[in-house]
Structure 1
Amino acid sequence: MDRREIAALLAYIGRLDPRTIRTDQGEARDQLAQWHELLGDVPMATPHGWDVRVAARQHIRTSPYQILPADLARPWESYRRDRLARHSDPTPSVDPDDQAAWTAELVGTRRAVAAGTAQPAQARAITSGRDGVDPKLEARLREIGSCIPPAARAALAPYRPARAVREAAVAQGLPDALSVRCEWCLAQPGEPCRRRRIGPDGGARGTAPRATPHPGRLDLAAAQQAQRTEQAQQPALA
């Protein structure tokens, strides 16, 4: 605030609390100089929620003590900290190779947010559900059937044989063996079966992953698939 704004603020405060009024010309001049020195960097109002008159009125309403410049500087600093805490630096529009311009734009944006002349830039939240899917991405997924293109999936097949066998079985309508727990090697759902080597003492010496699931796991998956199919048909028959 400049000296004229400080004078207007003191006149406003004087109407609410006559104790701040200085009738002597010299005292009034000293008071104006003191408040301007302490509140020169505090704006009268900003486009986004700050008004020094509101802070002054709030103090006079809730405190029995005469208002001081610090009683207005503290709310202003809280206002600045709150806005900067809610601000997430957006990517500058300048060339990232120009370090000076990049830094200058970041600093300028932060200062504008702290001064109340710009709104804090909020980080985009992670959305869930179908509402958050980009229509272009959804159309692309329908086109290729998966987020992994078929060519890339075929190239990765030699490096993940268990997954390749699982995908081939599901594509042919066969039961997904990895959807159930293996009772033989105790592999959990989603994990490939393992080949256990038993030592002379009866303990397991190795658990190398298998490219194909154990037959018992296939039978259990087929039984569960048949049970789900039967349960799905019962309401239709009813």
Structure 2
Amino acid sequence: MDRREVAAVLAYIGRLDPRTARTGTDEACDQIAQWHELLSDVSFATAHGWDVREAIRAHVLDSPYPILPVDVARKWRAHRRDRLDRHTDPTPAADPDNPAAWRTELLRTRHAVATGMAAPSPHRQLTGGPQAEPGWHALAGTLADAEANGHDPATLLTEAAARRELDTAESISGTLVWRLRRMTDLPADPAVTASQEERQHNSRPAVPPRLSLASPSPDQYQLRR
């Protein structure tokens, strides 16, 4: 919120709880400056479920204490966390061979969801082509983990792809995740490991019934007369 919006918020609070009103000009200016310092990253209202006036009204109804700017900031942070908890990252349209663009698009989408500019996406929005593999999300996460550990994602991805051809791989993304995690000493990705184990289990041929090695009964050799 900018200072004008903060002033409107304080005027609204003053109508609901006169204890918070400041009558002197200097006091009012100081109050606006203090609230703006703590609420500059809080939205006044969004198109997806947040209105600061609703948060203030709920506090006035539920608490006997005058509302403070930290109360509003905490409600806003809780709102952001709830939205991100309900959000599943859609597959970016960026080229997965460009880790920087991939990561930038993911972060931009998450920021839009957190700030109320976009609604949470409950399911993966997979597109056609190679990016439709569910493992591409795991690949993006692996590259982010590697970058957090001091590795260069672009260099790592190039080296992993060059280690062996990928044309015959059942899952290109899963193969790259496995290579990258071995190269960077990261723990195995649980989702990829479970998926690989399931494919291996499903591809195993059925075990034929065991043949009996017991000696045949003498009756089996008797000839009919």
TM range (shorter): 0.5 to 0.7
1:109 and 1:49 mapped to 2: Cα distance? Answer: 17
2:208 and 2:114 mapped to 1: Cα distance? Answer: 54
Point out 4+ residue stretches in structure 1 off by more than 2 angstroms. Answer: 196-199
* Deviation of the 1:122 alpha carbon: 1.2
Confirm or deny that 1:95 pairs with 2:95.
yes
* Deviation of the 1:193 alpha carbon: 2.2
Give the aligned partner of residue 66 of structure 2: 66
The one-letter amino acid of 1:196's match is S
* Deviation of the 1:192 alpha carbon: 3.8
Confirm or deny that 1:194 pairs with 2:215.
no
| RMSD across aligned positions (CA) | 2.1
What SS does the aligned partner of 2:211 have? strand
The one-letter amino acid of 1:197's match is L
What SS does the aligned partner of 1:195 have? coil
The one-letter amino acid of 2:49's match is G
More strand by proportion, 1 or 2? 1
What SS does the aligned partner of 1:194 have? coil
Gapped regions of structure 1 (runs ≥ 5)? 125-158, 164-190, 200-238
The one-letter amino acid of 2:87's match is H
Gapped regions of structure 2 (runs ≥ 5)? 125-203, 216-225
* Deviation of the 1:197 alpha carbon: 3.2
1:50 and 1:198 mapped to 2: Cα distance? Answer: 77
The one-letter amino acid of 1:2's match is D
Give the aligned partner of residue 19 of structure 1: 19
The one-letter amino acid of 2:19's match is R
Number of residues of Structure 1 aligned to a counterpart in Structure 2: 137
Confirm or deny that 1:116 pairs with 2:132.
no
1:29 and 1:107 mapped to 2: Cα distance? Answer: 36
Q: Which has the larger radius of gyration?
A: 1
Q: Among all aligned residue pairs of Structure 1 and Structure 2, give the percentage whose two residues are the same amino acid.
A: 62
2:107 and 2:213 mapped to 1: Cα distance? Answer: 63
2:213 and 2:106 mapped to 1: Cα distance? Answer: 61
The one-letter amino acid of 2:23's match is T
